[in-house]
Structure 1
Amino acid sequence: MGFGAFGLFWGAWGAILPAVRTEVGVSDGELGIALLMVGLGALASMRFTGYLIDRYGGVVLPVVVVLFGACGVLPALADSAVTLSAALFLLGATSGATDVAINAAGSDAEAVTGRPLMNLAHGIFSVAVVVASLGTAALRTAGADALPVLGGVGVIITVVAVVVLGPGSRDNLHVSTEPKPKRRLEPVLLVFGGLCALAFVVENAWQSWSAVHLDTSLNAAPGLASSAPAVFAAAAATGRIAGNALLRRWRPVQLLVAGGALAAVGSIAAAAAGSAWLALVGIGVAGLGTSVCAPTIIGMAGAWAGPERRAGAISTVTTIAYLGFLLGPAAVGAASSASSLPVALGGVAVLALLVAALGPVAARQTERQPTH
């Protein structure tokens, strides 16, 4: 449910962002600067959240989700670029904390049950994004402003945290009673984090640039072009649910290699497509492939760390990986300015191949035990 609540907000946010921009009255440049605050806030909170979970256990999860739901309403209350930036920094901080907490809970559930769950959990996130995006679009068509949309989502998230995540939260996630070792950045976590960052670059590049690619590169009709992110998100949801089932027969590294390779095929097909419909097929294939990469890597990192250090390890990996999520769209834009958008998106295929090629390296790292 935590992943569903997380996806519910971000699906609604993407669809309501134009209304927020209009109501606050900021320019594109001011909005871009304000949106950077989301990433800065997340980076500021993620590692600390891992420490809190390792120290206090599962009780941290409902607390940060409630804070996330509350801060999600703040952008609708902003009235200037400065207040919007402050609101988005707080939103980013609570979003980053929630991201770490739900991934730590998912990894812990995998360890306790012995069943693969991370791809399924991330699949629920993707489904929630699609549902919330379509629902918010319908509300916008009916004339709803940002405050009732974000306020309603905030209420739903708070109810989920209190009613679903709160009960029994003290029993979830391992709390170590041993003296805490000096916090250090394990080299293996750099490997996991770097690999996950590459996966996030591929994922967010297509999520952010697919509609622009169809519109500017292939002259697609506006309605068709705007469907590209939804196609990608729907494919990602399908891939994660299917990937979770495949992990009953495959090792995680096999799924990671297959996912990276499939993402590369889809990326090059979409980038080189001569028509919008062929590009949509490639975008869907890329979504299927890249969808399983990050959840699988995070699950591998959690399994490597063990119960005493799982949350801290996941927070480190996700913090490093988040840099790729933030920088991916900007890197595609820079490469597009230097050449063309199809060439830039073709380069994304190379990164997907790197994920596939480096997957076995990450798997070998799991044989090294954490340093205590």
Structure 2
Amino acid sequence: MESFLVQPVSKRAARLSIGSFFFIAGLCFASWASRIPDIVSKLGLSEGGLGAVLFALPVGLMVSLPFSGWLVHHFGSRKMVLLSAVLYPLILCNIGLVQETWQLVAVLFVFGLMGNLFNIAVNTQAVSLEALYGRSIMASFHGIWSLAGFTGAAIGTLMINFHLTPFVHFCIITGAAYLLITLLYRNSLRKDINAGDDRPLFAKPDATLLKLGLIAMCCMVCEGAMFDWSGVYFQKVVEAPKGLIPLGYTAFMSTMAGGRFAGDKLVMRLGTLRLLQVSGLVIATGLIIAVAFPAIVTATIGFMLVGIGVSSVVPLVYGVAGKSTVFSPGVALAAVSTIGYLGFLAGPPMIGFIAHAASLRWSLGLIAVLGFMTTIISTKTRF
């Protein structure tokens, strides 16, 4: 432990460095998302075709999960952060160059694969720095990712108004990312917590990791529902005017980002268990309000509560997983991410199937039950 604590940079400098990598990851992903309509128009994709193409990204993510943990454990998170931070924006630029649908599928697969390696590596750095601080700082890093999402969306709108192509837009983002890497990479942590020990790379996750994965899965089902269905809900159920259709998504994203910046203080006051329990209750309450009272004001309030509820769950789960006594941080994070992302991937299609069989309100009502499962599973988990 002493060798881990001897770091050549200050904690503050390391925090700024790691935060910049969270920002790069969020900025690149949001930049891609902001130009999807342009790329769809360029390739002439239908809605169904777009759905099939977009599936390549989460497939790449899932394929990379077992290898990401091994790479981070074997080579260290610092090297993997640098590798992924350099390649992730470069792959983004290649998205802007695609001319055929199959090319987009291939590039998105690699984009998802590299994005997950980036996610595991930078969260391993954050877990190690959190150990140095001796208190929760994980939620603020995820807040930076959310802030980068807003920034990326705003820059995307600006680029569209200036009539710049996606390729030029993505090259500008890549240049900004490389500038941050050049300035701040040297202050990243040289050594991961518990690096060099003999913990297994491949083994059956213990009960605690499985429960943490289930908590993440329940939360990420709710996140996926908001990302993919909030606009549809406001359009078809709330029947909001066209200009207010994005209101639900904006409300959710705003409170999720704000909640993440407040999450570290909340966990210090309430503790991990209590905060997870409260988060599940808030998620369920928000969805029930939106379902029971599908008017603009009440649905917006409901989605704001969902954003508050989900904001701290994944950062807390990652923080606990990174302190596993069974696996190294990178491997533990990969195990929890694998289970969690199953919910993120399966949730939106499940909502669609239930909506087709019954209604969208029924779908979100059932998602509220999964949100409440965060509270139940947390109660049965040791922290």
Kept in 2, the 8 Å contact 1:197–1:324? The answer is: yes
Aligned-partner Cα distance in 2 for 1:49–1:145: 32
TM superposition shift of 1:180 = 5.6
Partner of 2:294: 274
Is 1:231 the counterpart of 2:244? The answer is: no
Kept in 2, the 8 Å contact 1:25–1:80? The answer is: no
Kept in 2, the 8 Å contact 1:215–1:225? The answer is: yes
Q: Report the AA paired with residue 330 of structure 1.
A: P
TM superposition shift of 1:129 = 0.7
Alignment map for 1:201-212 (pairs within 5 Å): 201-212=221-232
Partner of 2:376: 357
Given candidates 122, 134, 138, the residue that maps to 1:118 is 138
Is 1:9 the counterpart of 2:28? The answer is: yes
Aligned-partner Cα distance in 2 for 1:93–1:162: 23
Given candidates 14, 28, 49, the residue that maps to 1:30 is 49
- Name the SS for the 2:55 alignment partner: helix
- Name the SS for the 2:195 alignment partner: coil
Given candidates 217, 242, 248, the residue that maps to 2:262 is 242
Partner of 1:261: 281
Aligned-partner Cα distance in 2 for 1:172–1:222: 51
| Aligned residues: CA RMSD | 1.7
Question: What is the TM-score normalised by the length of structure 2?
Answer: 0.90
Partner of 1:313: 332
Aligned-partner Cα distance in 2 for 1:350–1:32: 27
Kept in 1, the 8 Å contact 2:84–2:118? The answer is: yes
TM superposition shift of 1:262 = 0.6
Alignment CA distance shift 1:55-1:174 (3 Å)? farther
Aligned-partner Cα distance in 1 for 2:79–2:188: 5
Counting aligned pairs with the same residue, the percent is 27
- Name the SS for the 2:270 alignment partner: coil
Aligned-partner Cα distance in 2 for 1:158–1:83: 25
Partner of 1:152: 172
Aligned-partner Cα distance in 1 for 2:211–2:105: 33
Alignment map for 1:161-200 (pairs within 5 Å): 161-165=181-185, 167-169=186-188, 171-174=190-193, 176-179=195-198, 181=200, 183-188=202-207, 189-200=209-220
Is 1:348 the counterpart of 2:374? The answer is: no
- Name the SS for the 1:125 alignment partner: helix
Partner of 2:11: none
Deviations 1:132-188 (Å, cap 9, x if unpaired)? 1122123212322211222222222233234323x1446142463345636202233
Aligned-partner Cα distance in 2 for 1:226–1:264: 21
Q: Report the AA paired with residue 377 of structure 2.
A: L
Residue ranges of structure 2 left out of the alignment (5+ in a row): 1-19
Deviations 1:174-208 (Å, cap 9, x if unpaired)? 46334563620223322211221111001110121
Aligned-partner Cα distance in 1 for 2:371–2:196: 41
Alignment CA distance shift 1:182-1:310 (3 Å)? closer
Question: What is the TM-score normalised by the length of structure 1?
Answer: 0.92
Alignment CA distance shift 1:49-1:274 (3 Å)? closer
Q: Report the AA paired with residue 177 of structure 2.
A: I
TM superposition shift of 1:339 = 0.8
Is 1:109 the counterpart of 2:129? The answer is: yes
